[in-house]
Amino acid sequence: MILADGASVRDLVPDSGNVRLIELSGAAEIGEKRNFGCDRAAGEVIAHWDDDDYSAPGRLADQLQRLQESGKSVTGYHSMRFTDGVRWWKYNGEKHYSLGTSLCYRRDYWEQHRFPYLQVGEDNQFVAAAFSNRMLVTADAGDLMHATIHPGNTSPRQMGDNWKLLDA
């Protein structure tokens, strides 16, 4: 399922029974949009997939395997490469944290721990609850995923101690 809340993407979505496009109108907080999408998801596992980030073909298999082997309900990447189209950085987070764009989780866990209706930080609260409940397992994304830094990011990147410029 694709939730689209910007310019129409109907011409980019294949006419297939496997892909469902829901175009949203009006303003809503990202947490509300995440819950809206999760409510309508058909599967038992939900993965975040931002249109401005890259996910390799093996990303979902990696995350599903981690969920299965760990017995946990939430996984994601605590460390990942980022680019602005010119330079590359590596964000090195702690194992008790996951970048929201990389989240993958069991639907039944989400049903008990819905996202708060926030524009920024809704994913951090979801991850913190999963860690507190001992339901979080994370890894370094390696080559399976990278994210994009641009002026339109909902949550602007603050380059602090956990960031390293890779091409300096």
Does some domain include residue 71? yes
Does some domain include residue 8? no
Average pLDDT over residues 53-69: 97
Does some domain include residue 7? no
pTM of this structure: 0.87
Does some domain include residue 3? no
Residues recorded for the chain: 168
According to DSSP, residue 10 is labeled: G
Into how many domains does the chain fold?
1
Spatial separation of the C-alpha atoms in residues 84 and 66, rounded to whole Å: 29
Does some domain include residue 102? yes
Rounded to the nearest 5°, which phi and psi values hold at 147? -120, 165
Spatial separation of the C-alpha atoms in residues 131 and 51, rounded to whole Å: 27
Spatial separation of the C-alpha atoms in residues 96 and 124, rounded to whole Å: 11
CA 72 to chain centre: 17
What CATH number should be reported for the domain holding residue 107?
Answer: 3.90.550.10
What is the extent of the structural domain holding 127? 43-165
pLDDT single digits (tens) 75-132: 999 999 999 888 999 999 999 999 999 999 999 999 999 998 888 888 999 999 999 9
pLDDT single digits (tens) 14-55: 777 777 777 777 777 888 888 988 998 889 999 998 878 999
Q: Are strands 74-83 and 145-148 parallel, antiparallel or unpaired?
A: parallel
Helix-then-strand count for the chain, H and E: 4, 10
Does some domain include residue 58? yes
Does some domain include residue 156? yes
Spatial separation of the C-alpha atoms in residues 98 and 77, rounded to whole Å: 5
Q: Please, what sign has the CA dihedral across residues 105, 107, 110, 115?
A: positive
Spatial separation of the C-alpha atoms in residues 112 and 36, rounded to whole Å: 15
Does some domain include residue 145? yes
